Amino acid sequence: MKHAADYMIPVDLELGGKDPMIVCEDANINRAVEAGLYGSFLHSGQVCVSVERIYVHQSLYRDFVEKLRSKALALTQGTDFHSDMGGMTTRDGFENVKKQVENAIFHGAVCVTGETWKQAEYPFFHRQF
């Protein structure tokens, strides 16, 4: 970016980020659940603006988690017109996400869907590289 600025060259930077979503106490919980679902699973979560963390006010937390859990479990994965989402783009991407989830669980996170990586070892992939 610094080098491009010297020559007034437009530049687009992919800076990653941790893209949080915040659900305040006065939020419409149903809209927040829909936004969290969409933001987390858009393009199988493989977009630089995907929701990666959701902070929910404690008064809404249990209801929010249950509603989001229910909707997430209803999602379908595949390549047909009626599927909600496709698979991970690469096996390396899947392995990276798997490690992140395992690390989160190791450090105290709870997988509320009841699913584990051992039960669903490799989901559908768009293509192999």
Q: Is 1 exposed, middle or buried (0-12, 13-18, 19+ CB in 10 A)?
A: exposed
Q: List the catalytic residue out of 25, 48, 66, 102.
A: 48
pLDDT tens digits for range 17-26:
678 999 999 9
Task: Tell me what the mean pLDDT of segment 29-40 comes to.
Answer: 96
CA distance 27 to 67: 14
CA distance 81 to 75: 13
pLDDT at 119: 43
CA distance 84 to 82: 6
Domain boundaries, the chain: 2-86, 87-129
Q: What is the pTM of this model?
A: 0.75
User: Is the pLDDT assigned to residue 31 strictly greater than 90?
Assistant: yes
Sorted by sequence, the CB contacts under 8 Å of residue 120 that are 6+ apart come out as none
Is residue 24 annotated as a catalytic residue, yes or no? no
CATH of 2-86, one of 3.40.50.11030, 3.40.309.10, 3.30.70.250, 2.60.40.1180: 3.40.309.10
% the chain with pLDDT above 90: 38
Helices (H) and strands (E) in the chain, counts: 4, 2
What's the DSSP call for residue 85?
Answer: B
pLDDT tens digits for range 65-103:
999 999 999 988 877 888 888 888 888 888 888 888 889
CA distance 107 to 128: 31
pLDDT tens digits for range 109-119:
888 887 665 54
Is residue 48 annotated as a catalytic residue, yes or no? yes
